[in-house]
């Protein structure tokens, strides 16, 4: 039986991470431990300047990407990605680090993972080894491709423009 995947989706830059954080806080109030990570955007002059990855269990953070070039960082579109940020995300998603988690959150799954890069190997391993509900964040524009690529069978989609975190929390709780 495949894990139940709850897909949080919406347009780029419209609050998917904020929605996920609200969901995690609601679950925390019910003593539900959420493992995984969120990618907080940071801004400069009203333009997204990068992302910081936060481990939901420890609160530890690392810069994942930024618009300023750094030696050894991979350029993708207008951002440069920190290889240490990817390693940090893989560590967070390691099944041994998620033993105590009731729910696993991944913010976000995007073009890197669809190309077999980023956290793809870690996600594939989680799907095979851990039978816990997962909450994945993805852009609406890649939703169909993500469902097909990961061969998802047990999933539910929540569009942040139409849903509220409380509804997702009510659906996650019975799956625990």
Domains and CATH numbers, the chain: 5-175 (3.40.50.300)
Task: Indicate left, alpha or beta for 72 from its phi (over 0: left) and psi (-120 to 50: alpha).
Answer: left
Provide mean pLDDT across the span 100-106. Answer: 96
Q: Is the pLDDT at 120 greater than 80, yes or no?
A: yes
How far apart (Å, rounded) are the C-alpha atoms in residues 61 and 166?
Answer: 26
Mapped onto helix, strand or coil, the DSSP state of residue 105 is strand
Residues sharing a CB contact under 8 Å with residue 123, sequence separation 6 or more, in sequence order:
93, 106, 109, 113, 150
Among 10-14, 59-63, 64-68, 143-147, the range scoring the smallest mean pLDDT is: 10-14
> Which pLDDT score is estimated for 46?
83
Provide mean pLDDT across the span 116-122. Answer: 94
- The DSSP call for residue 3 is P
Residue with tokens 């793809």: 120
Supply 137's token pair. Answer: 């964040």
């Amino acid at each position: 039986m495949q894990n139940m995947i709850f897909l949080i989706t919406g347009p780029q830059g419209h609050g998917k991470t904020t929605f996920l954080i609200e969901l995690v806080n609601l679950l925390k109030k019910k003593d539900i431990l959420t493992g995984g990570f969120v990618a907080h955007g940071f801004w400069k002059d009203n333009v997204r300047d990068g992302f910081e990855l936060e481990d939901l269990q420890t609160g530890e953070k690392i810069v994942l990407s930024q618009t300023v070039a750094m030696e050894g960082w991979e350029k993708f579109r207008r951002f440069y990605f920190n290889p240490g940020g990817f390693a940090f995300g893989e560590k967070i998603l390691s099944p041994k680090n998620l033993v105590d988690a009731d729910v696993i959150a991944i913010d976000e799954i995007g073009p890197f993972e669809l190309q077999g890069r980023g956290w793809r190997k870690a996600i594939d391993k989680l799907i095979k080894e851990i039978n816990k509900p997962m909450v994945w964040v993805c852009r609406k524009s890649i939703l169909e491709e993500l469902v097909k690529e990961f061969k998802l069978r047990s999933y539910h989609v929540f569009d942040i423009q139409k849903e509220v975190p409380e509804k997702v929390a009510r659906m996650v709780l019975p799956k625990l």
